[in-house]
Amino acid sequence: MFDPLKSLVPGRQVLSRTLITINLALFSYILIDFLLYHTDYPVKERPSLLVAYSSPSVNPSLGSRQTTDRINENSECLHRDAYYEIEENHGENPWNQMKWMGEPARCKVKGHLIEKLDDINNFRRGFSLRFVDGVEDRTHVLPWLLASKESFHQRKRRVYLDFGANRFSTSVGWFLRMYPCDFTEVHAFEINSKLLKKPEKGFPEKENWADATANSTRVKRMPGVPQWMLDRITTYNKYVSDADNEGNQAINITRFIKEDLKLSAQDFVLVKMDIEGSEWPILNNWMDDPEMPHIIDELFVEIHYSHPSMTAYNWDAFKPKSRDEAKRLLADLRWKGFYAHFWP
Ligand SMILES: *[C@@H]1O[C@H](CO)[C@@H](O)[C@H](O)[C@H]1NC(C)=O
Ligand SMILES: *[C@@H]1O[C@H](CO)[C@@H](O)[C@H](O)[C@H]1NC(C)=O
């Protein structure tokens, strides 16, 4: 009988062992590469400019749905501290020069990338770096809007809640024009009735078309707010609060959302909140309420704190809250499942 082994001369045996060794090495390389870079197999931190405080504490109150949402993500994102990133080496980071729309945070929220929190340039980053004049600049949030990552047009109720609306153009106008969703309801709160004035009349869109013979511009004047849009807006001259108080014109905003508007996880709900410090108790309540991160799809909030750089804006009134605590609050909101941004 033909015995292949016996037929091998010694030189050939060495050669075939070498071939087997090379094949094994190649296979191991492919397997290790696959595990490290093409699966969610937990690996040690890859080289990065970012470091996160690491703590082994896992939040025991995470709901089961939140845990499932995150199962495919980096396991460290189960830890509260992973949402509170600190940045090192500012000088070497190109994002600190001109391209300040920023990098994504380490941990996704609701399955999507969200902007990294900025810890040294206030939260009005463009303004503090003098790239823009207006403290109200919001271009930094544009790449991270949830509705540009996922479509919500199928949802019957698409609701925009503006808490602390100020003038009509300040945020209601901005969200109606810029946010990539056709809202079916807008509820805007502003205690000062002189400040928030809904335009009295809708803009006559049909009459604004210029003659077809006109050479360049097709419309006669700058468009205003059309009537169909005004019809969807309700305004309230009330204080947004964590408790009802008729004498103070204060409204329990959690009750308003759940009981008056009857909003649920089936609706698309965007919240913008700028309520001069009252955000602290309200947001702390929402973090203990497992329903809220499911009801509220996206949250924009101005968190007020005291810091020398904000003295000119009278933010000393918000002592003893520090800028670091504000960042921690936003990081905790994300950890609890709120897709949350600093506003503006
Ligand atoms: C369009 O351009 C023509 C030629 O330049 C000019 O005569 C005419 O007046 C313009 N029409 C309008 C409506 O501006
Ligand atoms: C505000 O409303 C929520 C929801 O109905 C309720 O759980 C909470 O106790 C209310 N807060 C106060 C202070 O009554």
Q: In what order do the strands lie in the sheet with 158-163?
A: 233-236, 185-189, 158-163, 268-273, 298-301, 340-342
The pTM assigned to this predicted structure is: 0.74
Residue 333 dihedral angles phi and psi, to the nearest 5°: -60, -45
207 Cα: distance to centroid of ligand 1 (angstroms): 21
| Helices (H), ranges, the chain | 4-7, 10-37, 64-69, 125-128, 172-178, 227-230, 253-255, 279-287, 292-295, 323-335
User: What is the tens place of the pLDDT at every residue in 181-190?
Assistant: 999 999 999 9
Question: What confidence category does residue 62 fall into, taking pLDDT thresholds of 50, 70 and 90?
Answer: very low
Minimum-distance ligand 2 atom for the alpha carbon of 252: 1
Which DSSP category does 191 fall into?
S
Question: What confidence category does residue 221 fall into, taking pLDDT thresholds of 50, 70 and 90?
Answer: confident
Q: What is the DSSP string of 33-85?
A: HHHHHSS----PPPS-SEEE-----B-TT--HHHHHHTTTS-GGGGBGGGGSE
Cis peptide before 223 (omega within 30 of 0): no
Helices 323-335/279-287 angle, 10° precision: 30
User: What is the tens place of the pLDDT at every residue in 88-117?
Assistant: 655 555 555 566 667 889 999 999 999 988
214 lines ligand 1 (CB under 6 A): yes
User: What is the tens place of the pLDDT at every residue in 235-292?
Assistant: 999 999 999 998 889 999 999 999 999 999 999 999 999 999 999 999 999 999 999 9
Residues with CB under 6 A from ligand 2: 242-243, 252, 254-255, 258-259
Q: State the ligand closest to the CA atom of 254.
A: 2
Residue-level pLDDT at 2: 57
Question: What confidence category does residue 48 fall into, taking pLDDT thresholds of 50, 70 and 90?
Answer: very low
Which DSSP category does 257 fall into?
I
Element (H, E) at 273: strand 268-273
User: What is the tens place of the pLDDT at every residue in 169-217?
Assistant: 888 989 998 999 999 999 999 998 888 888 878 888 888 888 777 666 7
